[in-house]
């Protein structure tokens, strides 16, 4: 059994790595921010780099050349993403590249593909996924934002919240209710809404780990019917399919591996009681466990890529665990690092006494706010259903729980 890469694939890896090394500033130091918590200055820097990468076709290597990609296969896409993750970089248009773009590829009309995909592939357009609502949270079937047919348009009214970027988007990948049905998820549709459409407004929403998020309000927003993505009232199914693009990837483990390598060097160079931290048996055990976790995460991610490359023979993958483990480890590892550093681990970036540039405290803060692609609890529910085949909670119990919670308020 051969687990390696071909000569062509290794050449691609070298080309991509050379590109990132040559284009990155010489003094670049990878940070700990996620693509959702970038500052204004960081966003401007990565937007510029995003466009450079788009010119090479490396943002969307699996897309056709007509839509701005390189027409490569899943394994090659995994290689490009892994090299990007290794650099520690962040794409401001994560939602466009990993959620909205793939959904347009699968469910869009030819006109929609020509109109929307090249801007994403070139790194010029920024998309926001606008799904979460104040009274719905992770319950995507409970959409209250209403889209009503009006001549050649749909008119949208309602609100989205916790949208994880403050960058004003070019487009909003929006889930909205188009019919009152039972069950609720059969009356939902997907719309591609211009970010500056009349009636769309934004309100900053602070968070502990993710910096600034936004509320988005739709006030009689007219969206042309040609901006309906996929079938009317099938948006929930389309959105669930696209979630798999968001929850998998080889970039996350590569980024985590680089961060751990930096932390290991810190432990080798930092003295405690006259000895390097790395000579402490408990530190060695903790670091080894983190290395094992990341290797497991990497192998699961590559298994998902391989399965996708063989999907014509194997069919759809029941459930991808890479996003699940990413959430677990992104929460556990900062806490482990903080325990190793002791009280120094609680000092923020900028403190004159902070060690390891305050990265551990920042990473711990971000880990408390990890909710894109669903919380850990949501991922467990999906795993129970799709991965283990366990029965869903009957709808009548959900209604009883909702009623009890309402009475408690």
CB neighbours of residue 385 within 10 Å: 15
DSSP states of 35-93: TTS--HHHHHHHHHHHHHHHHHT-SSTTS-GGGTS----HHHHHHHHHHHHHHT---TT
Structure-token match 């759809």, residue found: 316
CA atoms within 13 A on the CB side of 300: 18
- Residue 21: strand, helix, or coil: helix
How many residues does the structure list for the chain?
A: 409
Q: Are 191 and 223 in contact (CB under 8 A)?
A: yes
Query: Active site includes 246?
Result: yes
Catalytic position from the list 81, 83, 140, 246: 246
Which residues have CB under 8 Å from 278's CB, separation 6+? 264, 267, 268, 284, 287
CB neighbours of residue 55 within 10 Å: 12
Q: Are 352 and 358 in contact (CB under 8 A)?
A: no
- Residue 351: strand, helix, or coil: coil
Report CA Rg, the chain: 22
Distance of alpha carbon 252 from alpha carbon 322, whole angstroms: 9
Select from 235, 221, 128, 225 the least CA-distant residue to 172: 128
Q: How far is CA 211 from the centre of its chain?
A: 16
Q: How far is CA 18 from the centre of its chain?
A: 25
CA–CA distances in Å: residue 239 to residues 27, 115, 124? 40, 20, 23
**DSSP H helices in 315-370:** 322-341, 359-367
Q: Are 102 and 242 in contact (CB under 8 A)?
A: yes
DSSP states of 358-372: GHHHHHHHHHTT--T
Catalytic positions are 246
């Amino acid at each position: 059994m051969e687990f390696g890469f071909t000569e062509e694939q290794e050449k691609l890896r070298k080309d991509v790595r050379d590109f990132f090394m040559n284009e990155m500033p010489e003094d670049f130091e990878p940070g700990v921010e996620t693509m959702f918590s970038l500052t204004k200055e960081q966003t401007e820097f990565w937007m510029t780099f995003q466009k450079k990468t788009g010119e090479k076709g490396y943002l969307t290597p699996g897309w056709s050349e007509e839509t701005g990609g390189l027409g490569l296969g899943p394994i090659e896409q995994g290689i490009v993403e892994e090299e990007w993750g290794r650099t520690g970089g962040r794409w401001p248009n994560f939602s466009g590249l990993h959620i909205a773009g793939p959904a347009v590829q699968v469910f869009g009309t030819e006109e929609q593909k020509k109109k929307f995909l090249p801007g994403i592939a070139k790194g010029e357009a920024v998309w926001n996924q606008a799904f979460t609502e104040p009274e719905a949270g992770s319950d995507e079937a409970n959409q209250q934002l209403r889209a009503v047919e009006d001549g050649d348009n749909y008119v949208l009214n309602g609100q989205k919240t916790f949208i994880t970027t403050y960058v004003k988007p070019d487009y909003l990948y929006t889930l909205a209710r188009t019919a009152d049905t039972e069950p609720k998820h059969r009356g939902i549709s997907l719309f591609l809404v211009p970010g500056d459409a009349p009636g769309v407004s934004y309100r900053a929403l602070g968070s502990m780990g993710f910096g600034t998020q936004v509320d988005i309000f739709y006030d009689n927003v007219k969206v042309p019917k040609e901006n309906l993505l996929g079938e009317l009232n099938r948006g929930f199914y389309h959105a669930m399919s696209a979630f798999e693009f968001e929850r998998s990837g080889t970039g996350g483990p590569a980024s985590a591996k680089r961060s751990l390598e930096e932390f290991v060097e810190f432990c080798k160079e930092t003295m405690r009681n006259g000895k390097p931290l790395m000579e402490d048996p408990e530190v060695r055990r903790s670091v080894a466990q983190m290395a094992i976790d990341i290797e497991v995460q990497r192998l699961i991610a590559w298994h998902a890529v391989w399965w996708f490359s063989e999907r014509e023979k194997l069919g759809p993958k029941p459930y991808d665990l890479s996003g699940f483990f990413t959430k677990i480890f992104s929460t556990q590892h900062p806490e482990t690092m903080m325990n190793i550093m002791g009280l120094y681990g609680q000092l923020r970036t900028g403190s004159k006494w902070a060690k390891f540039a305050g990265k551990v405290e920042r990473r711990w803060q971000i880990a408390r706010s990890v909710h894109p692609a669903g919380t850990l609890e949501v991922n467990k529910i999906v795993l129970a259903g799709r991965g283990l085949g366990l029965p869903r909670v009957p709808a009548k119990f959900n209604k009883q729980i909702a009623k009890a919670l309402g009475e408690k308020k």
